Structures are given as structure tokens and as C-alpha cells.
A = this chain, B = another copy of it.
Amino acid sequence: MSKLLENVVGEFAKLPGVGRRSALRLALNLLRREVEDADALAGAIYQFRRDVKSCIYCNNISDTEICPICQDTRRDKKMICVVEQVADLITIENTRQYGGLYHVLGGVISPMQGVSPSDLKIDLLIDNITKNEVEEVILAIPSTIEGETTSYYITRRIKQLGVKISAISRGIGFGTEIEYADEMTITHALRNRVSY
């Protein structure tokens, strides 16, 4: 096979959820498009990875030192929503239901994978809480063992600052059929039932 093709297929296949078959389809599709289209894709990848920054306050990705959310004066600076990753921030932002700031941990505590609290910008979070006199920290961290450990660790460190701490509610999602919900979720949903 063409080495150039082999190379680009190999690189595409390193992306998450892209198998060799899809990678081949992506590569061959480039041939049907203009040279400039491929250049644009290559350039966007190169530039993004090289030039994108982390916001010095919230660790969100940003083109500038301070991200647009932290710069936005209309946002409620008394609230910080703590998320594991940028994708979670974007998902929450897309609902347009949250007007506070964020804090992107960039991971969760995982001794197995060598991620310790010091890797997670938690000192920066404490700093922000203190400096901005934050009133509430909302934890929107995955409910995995690592996530729960992280939530517990953060809660322990924040509590002494006298700030309100909450976590997003868990339960059966809208559109999820109860029949297919997992046991953990159902157990939780039953125990934390809401009175009408």
C-alpha cells in the first residue's frame, strides 16, 4: 500500500473511536476534496495543539491568558462549578442554564494512573475561592470511584473556607427508560426521591 496513505491512516486511527477502517475512509475522502481542504484540516490541528492555552484562573482552554468566561463581567463570580474536563464545561455551557464560573481539574485523583491531587489545580481553585470571596462551589464530577474520591478530597479542603458546597443531582436521566437504568442509579434515585 502507499506509504503516504499508510501513514495518514495510522495517524487517524490513533484518534479515539476511529478504527483502521474508518481511518481509511477519512483518508480516502481527503482525495475527493481540494488540496486546500486538507491543508486547512492539517493547519487547524497543528495550530490548535500548538497555540491553545489554559486559562490562568480556571484552567479552561483559551486563545488568551484569561478565558472568555472568566473575562465576562456578566457572569456570577461568586459561584464556581468544578468539572473534570473541558468537554464537561462545554456541555454545561450549552444548556445556557449556568451563569457562574468554572474550574477545570483536568482529571480526577487516580493513584492507579499516577494522578495525585497536586496534578489537578486544586490549589488554584482554593486561591480563586479565597480571592473572589466565592459563595458556592458546585461539584460536577463523574460518579466513579476516582470522581467520588476527588469530590471528597475537594470538599475536605474547601469546607474550612466556609463556602457552600453542592453537587449536581444524580438520578435517572430524562429520556432514559427505567427498564434500562443501572442498579446503582435506581438505588440512588429511590433513596433520594423528591417529595411532591
Listed in ascending order, the chain A residues whose CB lies under 8 Å from chain B are: 1-5, 7-8, 10-12, 14-18, 22, 24-31, 33, 35, 37-52, 61-63, 67-68, 85-87, 90
A2-B61 CB under 8 A given contacts A15-B26, A90-B24: yes
Q: Are A38 and B31 in contact (CB under 8 A)?
A: no
- Shortest CB-to-CB span from A107 to chain B, Å, is 9
Q: Are A90 and B1 in contact (CB under 8 A)?
A: yes
Residue of B nearest to A45 (CB): B42
Bound: A16/B49 CA distance, A: 22
Instruction: List chain B residues, Cβ under 8 A from A1.
Output: 68, 90
Instruction: List chain B residues, Cβ under 8 A from A42.
Output: 41-43, 45-46, 49
The 7 closest A-B pairs by CB, nearest first: A38-B49, A42-B46, A8-B48, A8-B44, A42-B42, A42-B45, A11-B44
Q: Are A52 and B29 in contact (CB under 8 A)?
A: no
Q: Are B87 and A44 in contact (CB under 8 A)?
A: no
Q: Are A63 and B3 in contact (CB under 8 A)?
A: yes
- Shortest CB-to-CB span from A184 to chain B, Å, is 25
